[in-house]
Chains A and B, each alone.
Chain A
Amino acid sequence: MYLELVQLSEKDRSLLAGELGKAQKLAMGLLIAVGETDGAHHLIDIEAAHIDGCSYHGKAGVDFAHILVEGGGRVQVPTTLNVSSLDLLHPDLYKGDSTVAESVRGLMDHYVALGCRPTWTCAPYQLRDRPSFGQQIAWGESNAIVFANSVLGARTNRYGDFMDICCALTGRAPYAGLHTDAGRLATIQFDVSVPNSILDDDLAYPLLGHVLGQLAGNRVPVITGLDERASEDRLKALGAAAASSGAVGMFHAVGVTPEAATLSEALGDAPPQQVVDLSLDTLRDARRELTTAIGTLGAVSVGTPHMSLDEMASLAALVDGHKTAVPFYVNTSRDVLSEAETAGVMTPIESFGAVVVTDTCTYITPIMGDIEGDVMTNSGKWAYYAPANLGVSVVIGSLVDCVESAVTGSAVTTGEWS
């Protein structure tokens, strides 16, 4: 029913006819349906994929992966895997139902059997062989999508579970949206005007992202007023928050991100639909919105998205010689953990009493257990989702404040936020 709109290559047709197996046939059929939805006229080759479908959300995800394995599916491009719901390196951390754990393990095994690399991270852009500028890719995981497009200049649409593996199994993606030049142009402009000291504060970036997502919705925003202090880690925090509060798949920051040397480049020489002024007051409001807690501090969780090696080094320097008074969780990938061990930064973090979580994240799976009190986090994304996912109340603060709070046992926020 969709075939008349999406032009297929000879290879696409053979996949659709099932000449390369049942899994590829199913994948191509779904790809075309999505291409039709997205208004694509043809499919393009992709060079890499990142799969979000390996996170467990019930039997449907397992059943789908199972029929792909049964159908002889094999990924056609280098493919990394997102976080799942188990920490395979530290299995004792899981406090959930053991039947669910078995299903999760089955799901994870299916994706590895399809030829995906068991990276188990939501920050595949922190792996060594990340995509480069201009590459066409198919990524799942909202924060990874926004980072790939905005910071790396690689090109992916917002692919959901199922679609991501369909792209990987066929090596193809519908040519639409953020894959195209036109789809990457900004249509809403945010002018950031805050005191200089705010741009030195890590907390500014997830708060900025939170506001961006709320107002941009599914449009591509361009931000003016940021500078080189917006490091990769800060842009990661910004993008993750924007992709939580909104459907942002890409943003530009003039003078910072690779497709926004100038404002007019980001806008494609067209006037924006909307211009929004962002002041310190707006960021303060965002902080109040993301802070649902007012009581005693029960735990701290940092690293959503997964901590980079730089962030692990910063954390090590902050915690060196201190002990945490509350449970302190650090989420990172197995690859970064290994690099951090080699770099010698894990010793102070372990002496501090932190619990290192890999392969998954504390807001999607039962690891923290019953928390007596509020949870402090440096992540806009964690703050956005955890109240509903875990039933906890949240305080948002910078990494510095998270460590200070853990040491003193009560939530402190410094800077100009109140």
Chain B
Amino acid sequence: MKVDRVLVDGVASGEVLVLDAPLSIWGGVDTESGRIVHATHPQFGESLAGKIVVLPYGRGSSSSSSVLAEMLRIGTGPAGLILEEPDSILVIGVLVAGRLYGTRCPIVVASSTPPDGGVWRITGDELESAH
């Protein structure tokens, strides 16, 4: 299916992790492991590493750009992000990591019917189930 918008272009595939609440990557995720450490988050304990993460939007701290860039640098970052609404704090984190380290993490907006599980691939403005 077509996404609504491409915020950061690229190709990625991975197991889908759906977040049922917005997440502040700073303070909410352990950089070293990629795991969600915010105790009251519905997906507490899940890891973002290598996943196609579906989330409404980022939340809270403006430090999330740095933390996302650092996670991509050390390999604990998500493979790609599917947002319900554009979020420039996440976009710039991905762009800076790409510029510094050549890492990839496409970000798209898909508000209507985002994937709810399984393995998915983002290819530019296309989302497809990869089983």
Q: Chain B residues near A158 (CB, 8 Å)?
A: 62, 89
Chain B residues within 8 Å of chain A by Cβ, number: 43
A8 to B39, CA, bound (A): 44
Q: Chain B residues near A243 (CB, 8 Å)?
A: 60
A38 to B40, CA, bound (A): 29
Taking the complex as formed, is B37 at the interface, i.e. its CB lies under 8 A from any CB of chain A? Answer: yes
A160 to B61, CA, bound (A): 8
Taking the complex as formed, is A47 at the interface, i.e. its CB lies under 8 A from any CB of chain B? Answer: no
A142 to B66, CA, bound (A): 14
Q: Chain B residues near A388 (CB, 8 Å)?
A: 27-28, 37-39
- Name the residue among B64, B85, B88 with the largest chain A CB count within 10 angstroms: B88
Q: Which residue of B lies closest to A36 (CB)?
A: B7
Q: Chain A residues near B50 (CB, 8 Å)?
A: none
Q: Chain A residues near B91 (CB, 8 Å)?
A: 33-34, 37
Q: Is the CB of B22 within 8 A of A247?
A: yes
Chain A residues within 8 Å of chain B by Cβ, number: 45
A160 to B66, CA, bound (A): 8
Q: Chain B residues near A38 (CB, 8 Å)?
A: 86, 88
- Name the residue among A26, A142, A217, A243 with the largest chain B CB count within 10 angstroms: A142
Taking the complex as formed, is A385 at the interface, i.e. its CB lies under 8 A from any CB of chain B? Answer: yes
Docked complex: B1-56 residues within 8 A CB-CB of A? 7, 9, 22, 24, 26-28, 31, 37-40, 56
Encode contact with B along A293-310: 1 for CB under 8 Å, 0 otherwise.
Answer: 000000000000000000
26 interchain pairs, CB-CB under 8 A: A26-B99, A30-B92, A30-B95, A34-B88, A34-B91, A37-B87, A57-B67, A58-B67, A58-B70, A58-B73, A60-B97, A60-B100, A158-B89, A161-B92, A162-B69, A162-B96, A163-B92, A217-B22, A217-B56, A217-B57, A218-B59, A244-B24, A244-B60, A246-B60, A247-B22, A247-B60
A residues neighboring B (CB under 8 Å): 1, 26, 30, 33-34, 37-39, 52-53, 55, 57-61, 63-64, 67, 140-142, 145, 157-164, 166, 217-218, 243-247, 289, 292, 385, 387-389
